[in-house]
Amino acid sequence: AQSVAQPEDQVNVAEGNPLTVKCTYSVSGNPYLFWYVQYPNRGLQFLLKYITGDNLVKGSYGFEAEFNKSQTSFHLKKPSALVSDSALYFCAVRGREGGNMLTFGGGTRLMVKP
Amino acid sequence: NAGVTQTPKFRVLKTGQSMTLLCAQDMNHEYMYWYRQDPGMGLRLIHYSVGEGTTAKGEVPDGYNVSRLKKQNFLLGLESAAPSQTSVYFCASSYGGVMNTEAFFGQGTRLTVV
């Protein structure tokens, strides 16, 4: 079965510093990978996706993610964090074995401090 | 720009009561999903639908039923609520048949079963 792991429950970073939120996945065949963000009392919002091609994917709000096939990872990054980036981040994967099912990781809370 | 709308936003049920959560989307999406979100567990798929009149089980279907009588609506039913069903429920929709498309989420329904 396909699965996603987000090894960190929380990531703390100072404003202006680079941030990384980690994600690893397990799926048969080529993966379709997604990052979503959730602000308090809101639904999930799409940030970016990897389908094929360039391993570095750019998304909304200055976020980017790097796909690494050999390490089965899809880490979310941003060069300079903002306090407003503080939220809950979810990595998700779709694979052929799961049909069109989207499987989510447990989420990582990002705290950006001034 | 309604997108995905969930009704109600909050509900408190007594054990054994029944209720139906309504999800409506105006994007003509084929696929619709119901997830539940619990602390530290990410989002888990309850049921999903790949088109009008069709439904399928997800990861945690027990205790829930769904119906998709109209393409734009996806209903989630709890026949006999239990405290273990206390959670935040999210509906999502996406274009069907293409695994590289992102899902769009509703604002969530916070359900408490006492």
Task: State pLDDT tens for residues B90-114.
Answer: 999 988 666 667 889 999 999 999 9
What does the pLDDT look like over B54-66, one tens digit per residue?
Answer: 999 998 999 999 9
Beta-strand ranges (E) seen in chain B are 4-7, 10-13, 19-25, 31-37, 43-51, 54-57, 65-67, 73-78, 87-94, 104-105, 109-113
Predicted pLDDT at B98: 62
Predicted pLDDT at B40: 74
Give contacts of B 60-89 with A, CB under 8 A: none
Average pLDDT, chain A: 92
Cβ-defined contact of B42 to A107 (cutoff 8 Å): yes
Partners of B99 on chain A (C-beta within 8 Å) are 32, 94-96, 100
Q: What is the mean pLDDT of residues B42-62?
A: 92
Nearest CB to A32 within list B40, B100, B104? B100
Predicted pLDDT at A96: 66
Nearest CB to B99 within list A36, A46, A94? A94
- Whole-angstrom distance, CA of residue B93 vs CA of residue B51: 11
Predicted pLDDT at B99: 64
